[in-house]
Amino acid sequence: MADQLTRFIELKDVTVKSNGRTILNIPHAIIPADRITACIGPNGAGKTTLLKVLNGLIKPDTGSVRYSFAPARTSFVLHHTPMIKASTRSNLGLVRDADHSITPTQIEYVLGQIGLTNLASSPAHKLSAGEKQKLCLGRAMLQKPNLVLLDEPTANLDPNTTEQVEEIIRQFKQQESDVIFTSHQLAQVQRLAQYILFIDQGEIKEKGPVGPFFSNPQTPAAKLYLHQELLID
């Protein structure tokens, strides 16, 4: 499979354990990094842990993570990132502490991209949940990562704001940033993603293009998950 991909991440013998319990167990997996990939599965399956391993926030107890592209510049966006008591513009510009090459002009441009120009001078900690999420995505844009990791990027957002956030996520591809995101919203996964990682009980049980996964899942675990989630949707 690796021969068919322009960019990929390879995991070998990766395990993550906590309090004697195995959170993640991936003997071998090649994850495409040249398309928008959705990581789905039940609560507690290990999705967020996988993102943290890919970002380097968690060091696996065993195994290795190899990127086919170098350097691997990643940006990890949570859905509950706190804001400092300053303006939206100042919060967006916090990434300049790590990258002094980011200019005020670039900050203003990204404010426009994420639709927050009219709130640039407003206190960021008073923004709505959706506006805060847009701000966090804007920070990631300014960092120009080649891989963006998003954990439940539209959790608890209304449909209109969800649509706006999804459009921002699509913009990452335009700046050649690849995206891996977690989501429980299967309709959103079908709108955004090109590739699926299905995780259950800490293992990647199934992976592949979005269309075939939804139309013809191959494993009992994936069939059960889709049946239960689609009933809820």
Digit-coded pLDDT (tens) for 163-179: 999 999 999 988 888 99
Identify the sign of the CA torsion 134, 139, 123, 114.
Answer: negative
Confidence of residue 81 (pLDDT cuts 50, 70, 90): confident
The average pLDDT across 130-146 equals 92
The average pLDDT across 86-98 equals 91
Burial of 231 (0-12, 13-18, 19+ CB in 10 A): exposed
| Higher pLDDT pick, 123 / 2 | 123
Check whether 62 has a pLDDT greater than 70. Answer: yes
Token pair of 182 as six digits: 């977690």
**Phi–psi pair at 105, nearest 5 degrees:** -65, -40
Check whether 2 has a pLDDT greater than 80. Answer: no
* DSSP letters spanning 101-136: T--HHHHHHHHHHTT-GGGTTSBGGGS-HHHHHHHH
Among 15, 43, 1, 6, which residue's Cα sits nearest to residue 232?
43
Check whether 61 has a pLDDT greater than 80. Answer: yes
The pLDDT assigned to 73 comes to: 85
Token pair of 146 as six digits: 């080649």
3-state secondary structure of 86: coil
The pLDDT assigned to 59 comes to: 95
Confidence of residue 161 (pLDDT cuts 50, 70, 90): very high
The average pLDDT across 27-52 equals 93
| Structural domains counted in the chain | 1
Among 183, 214, 220, 205, which residue's Cα sits nearest to residue 26?
205
For the chain, give the number of residues. Answer: 233
DSSP 163: H
3-state secondary structure of 78: coil
CA 76 to CA 146: how far, in whole Å?
11
Domain span holding position 156:
2-232
Check whether 130 has a pLDDT greater than 80. Answer: yes
CA 149 to CA 225: how far, in whole Å?
23
Stated pTM of the model: 0.91
Helical axes 159-174 vs 129-143, angle rounded to 10°? 0
| Higher pLDDT pick, 70 / 23 | 23
pLDDT more than 70, % of the chain: 96
Confidence of residue 156 (pLDDT cuts 50, 70, 90): confident
Mean pLDDT estimate for the chain:
91
pLDDT more than 90, % of the chain: 74
Confidence of residue 82 (pLDDT cuts 50, 70, 90): confident
**Phi–psi pair at 149, nearest 5 degrees:** -110, 120
Check whether 232 has a pLDDT greater than 60. Answer: no
The pLDDT assigned to 1 comes to: 58
Check whether 41 has a pLDDT greater than 90. Answer: yes
What confidence tens digit (pLDDT) does each residue in 185-196 have? Answer: 999 999 999 999
CATH number of the domain encompassing residue 207: 3.40.50.300
